[in-house]
């Protein structure tokens, strides 16, 4: 037997044992753990100290019916005032990273960078300094969905003007905080912004996007991301020595059967959902299957050209390579089947995507109907990313478990982290994927967008009936702290 064969057998045995015990692999020394939040979901202080109005302020105030419990983020976890406690909590969890987002209108109330609100800057300066004092590294998201309300009149991301407005905002953020912040994320989950929630970014009274606005948004977002990347590279990287990239969400699409049709359908879905953004940034241009399908359907619908805009060669080259790592948010998994081509009628991204997806009712559930516990989905994603994008460094910027109770005895969440951290270890040790970080969503229960406060992802609970917004650690805090300390799953 060759040493290589022996090695493979040992490895194979290792995986078997690890599946049973999940214990014998350690997280590599350079692997980082973190916890994540976003501004609108936790800060509150919606009009404090000169903050301007964001689309979420306006949306929740004018159309509360759109939020499951009619609530809003006016106070949320009150992190605008309780940020010192937040830092203590991160410290208590023992992790390396705290990922949070900047509220654009807290710093630039109208969205434009001509006026900087000193209180907003002071808030983030204090937070960043306190994190660093405690040995915690800040990871900043520039755009986690709460864009300036002023831009709605322009259609926000569907307008090319957004590209420059975002680039100016990014430059100022690097100028203000980049001496201390070394990991930047331009956009959180573009697919949710453009394909799912796009109407939050335009006018509250949404117009039907007709499979057109979704792609304009995608196109402008990719260009805005690329500009923010290049600005950093050109003007800041030499002195600040940080990294810039984007965070994409990815729910795994598993073929429903071994049939070539289902295998192709699952891949088609991955390309529409993830490749749409990852391919132009890491490889080159939009994925061929996406270009072909949107062009074909657009022609049949009577459009003079594809609803998916084309990049010029210069644009393709400018977007390609604009990543120093890849940010990944992952929540759930679906089976995907080939489906009959949808009839030509109302144009839409969903019809372009084609395919049919469903979840296995036997999969372990959670507090959110769509969020099933399927750890092998994460492992498959990581492997697929490695194979499709030349083993790029991946930072898992969100992964977490929702419940509706907020119980501090959150054993199901502990089990979730045990399984998903184990899948991460398998991806690293068995599949050779370059996963470099795992950030739990979320540091604390918070405003879960359309679900309001009904769905809770926190490892700390927050008492929303108490003016103090008292935070209490759940069991999962201790679990994560232990993993971080031992670098083992137990």
Give, for 58, the enclosing helix (H) or strand (E).
Answer: helix 55-62
**Cα dihedral 268, 357, 426, 135 sign:** positive
Q: Candidates 82-90, 188-196, 228-236, 332-340 — which segment interacts with ligand GAL by CB under 6 A?
A: 188-196
Catalytic residue among 189, 214, 254, 267: 189
* Placement of tokens 């792609």 in the chain: 215
| Least gap, CB of 440 to ligand GAL (angstroms) | 11
Nearer to ligand GAL, 338 or 439 (CB): 439
In the bound state with ligand GAL, the residue whose beta carbon lies nearer, of 41 and 149, is 41
**Rounded least distance, CB 447 to ligand GAL, Å:** 9
Other CB atoms within 10 Å distance of the CB of residue 142: 22
**Minimum CB–partner distance for residue 163 and ligand GAL (Å):** 22
The DSSP output letter for 452 is T
In this structure, what is the dihedral angle of CA atoms 251, 257, 261, 267, given to the nearest 10 degrees? 20
What are 183's strand-pairing partners?
139, 243
Binders of ligand GAL: how many residues, by CB under 6 A?
12
Interface residue with ligand GAL among 43, 137, 146, 189 (CB under 6 A) is: 189
Taking the complex as a whole, the smallest distance from the CB of residue 71 to ligand GAL amounts, in Å, to 14
Contact between 329 and ligand GAL (CB under 6 A)?
yes
Closer CB to ligand GAL, 73 or 354, in the complex: 73
Tokens representing 220? 């402008």
Is omega for the bond preceding 160 within 30 degrees of 0, making it cis? no
DSSP strand E in 296-447: where? Answer: 326-329, 333-337, 356-358, 394-398, 435-441
Q: Strands 252-255 and 183-188: what pairing? A: unpaired
Helix 79-93 vs helix 475-486: angle between axes, to the nearest 10 degrees?
50
* First vs last C-alpha separation in the chain: 34
Task: Please say which residue, 429 or 474, places its beta carbon nearer to ligand GAL.
Answer: 474
Q: How far apart are CA 243 and CA 185, in angstroms?
A: 9
Using DSSP's 3-state secondary structure scheme, residue 474 falls into coil
Residue 249 found at the interface with ligand GAL (CB under 6 A): yes
Q: Which of 26, 68, 192, 263 binds ligand GAL (CB under 6 A)?
A: 192
Can 189 be counted among the known catalytic residues? yes
DSSP run (H or E) holding 314? helix 313-319
Contact between 38 and ligand GAL (CB under 6 A)?
Answer: yes
* Interacting positions 158-187 with ligand GAL (CB under 6 A): none
- Pick from 252, 270, 250, 261: which is nearest to 360 by CA? 252
Among 457, 460, 464, 479, binds ligand GAL (CB under 6 A): 457
Q: Is residue 398 part of the contact set for ligand GAL (CB under 6 A)?
A: yes
Which residue out of 227, 267, 273, 398 is catalytically annotated? 398
Torsion of CA 248, 254, 259, 261, to 10 degrees: -30
The smaller minimum CB distance to ligand GAL, of residues 272 and 449, is found at: 449
Task: Name which of 200 and 236 has its Cβ closer to ligand GAL.
Answer: 200
Q: How far is the CB of 424 from ligand GAL (least distance, A)?
A: 18
**Closest CB 434 distance from ligand GAL, rounded Å:** 22
Q: Return phi, psi of residue 100, to 5°.
A: -140, 170
Query: Taking CB under 6 A as the rule, does residue 143 contact ligand GAL?
Result: no
Nearer to ligand GAL, 319 or 455 (CB): 455
Residue 366 interacts with ligand GAL (CB under 6 A)?
A: no
DSSP β-bridge partners for residue 437: 32, 395
Which one, 251 or 254, has the nearer CB to ligand GAL? 251
Question: Is 251 among the residues known to form the active site?
Answer: no
Shortest separation between residue 303's beta carbon and ligand GAL, angstroms: 31
The distance of closest approach from Cβ of residue 329 to ligand GAL in the complex, given in angstroms and rounded to an integer, is 6
Pick the binder of ligand GAL from 103, 188, 332, 366 (CB under 6 A): 188
| Ranges within 433-452 binding ligand GAL (CB under 6 A) | 441, 448-449
Strand (E) or helix (H) holding 140: strand 137-143
Q: Does 68 bind ligand GAL (CB under 6 A)?
A: no
Q: How far is CA 458 from CA 98, 100, 246, in A?
A: 14, 14, 23
- Residue carrying the six token digits 């690329």: 226
Point out the residues that are catalytic.
Answer: 189, 398
Residues in contact with ligand GAL by CB under 6 A are 38, 41, 188-189, 192, 249, 329, 398, 441, 448-449, 457
């Amino acid at each position: 037997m060759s040493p290589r064969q022996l090695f493979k057998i040992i490895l194979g045995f290792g995986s078997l044992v690890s599946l049973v015990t999940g214990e014998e692999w350690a997280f590599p020394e350079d692997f980082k753990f973190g916890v994540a939040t976003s501004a609108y979901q936790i800060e509150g202080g919606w009009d404090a100290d000169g903050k301007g109005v964001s689309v979420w302020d306006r949306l929740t105030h004018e159309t509360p019916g759109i939020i499951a419990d009619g609530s809003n983020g006016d106070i949320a976890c009150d992190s605008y005032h309780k940020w010192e406690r937040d830092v203590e909590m991160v410290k208590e969890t023992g992790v390396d990273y705290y990922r949070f987002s900047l509220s654009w209108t807290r710093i630039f109330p109208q969205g434009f960078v001509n006026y900087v609100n000193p209180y907003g800057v002071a808030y983030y300066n204090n937070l960043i300094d306190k994190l660093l004092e405690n040995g915690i590294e800040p990871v900043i998201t520039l755009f986690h969905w709460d864009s300036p309300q002023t831009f709605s009149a322009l259609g926000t991301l569907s307008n090319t003007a957004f590209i420059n407005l975002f680039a100016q905002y990014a430059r100022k953020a690097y100028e203000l905080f980049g001496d201390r912040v070394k990991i930047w994320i331009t956009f959180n989950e573009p697919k949710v912004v453009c394909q799912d929630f796009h109407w939050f970014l335009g006018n509250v009274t949404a117009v039907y996007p007709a499979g057109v606005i979704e792609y304009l948004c995608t196109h402008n977002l990719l260009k805005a991301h690329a500009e923010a990347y290049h600005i950093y590279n050109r003007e800041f990287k030499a002195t600040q020595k940080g990294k810039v990239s984007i965070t994409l969400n990815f729910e795994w699409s598993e073929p429903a059967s071994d049939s070539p049709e289902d295998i192709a359908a699952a891949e088609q879905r991955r390309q529409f959902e993830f490749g749409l953004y990852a391919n132009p940034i890491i490889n080159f241009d939009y994925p061929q299957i996406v270009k072909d399908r949107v062009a074909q359907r657009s022609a049949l619908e009577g459009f003079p050209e594809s609803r998916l805009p084309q990049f010029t060669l210069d644009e393709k080259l400018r977007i390609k390579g604009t990543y120093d790592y890849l940010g990944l948010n992952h929540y759930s998994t679906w089976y995907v089947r080939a489906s009959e081509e949808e009839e030509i009628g109302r144009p839409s991204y969903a019809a372009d995507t084609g395919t049919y997806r469903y979840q296995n009712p036997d999969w372990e559930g959670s507090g959110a109907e769509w969020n099933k516990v399927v750890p092998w989905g994460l492992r498959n994603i990581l492997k697929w990313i490695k194979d499709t994008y030349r083993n790029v460094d991946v930072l898992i910027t969100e992964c977490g478990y929702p419940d509706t109770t907020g119980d501090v005895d959150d054993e199901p969440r502990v089990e979730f982290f045990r399984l998903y951290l184990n899948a991460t270890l398998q991806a690293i040790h068995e599949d050779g994927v370059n996963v470099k970080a795992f950030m739990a969503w979320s540091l604390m229960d918070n405003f879960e967008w359309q679900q309001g406060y009904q769905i809770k992802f926190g490892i700390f609970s927050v008492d929303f009936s108490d003016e103090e917004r008292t935070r209490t650690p759940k069991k999962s805090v201790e679990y994560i702290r232990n993993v971080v300390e031992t670098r083992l799953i137990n």
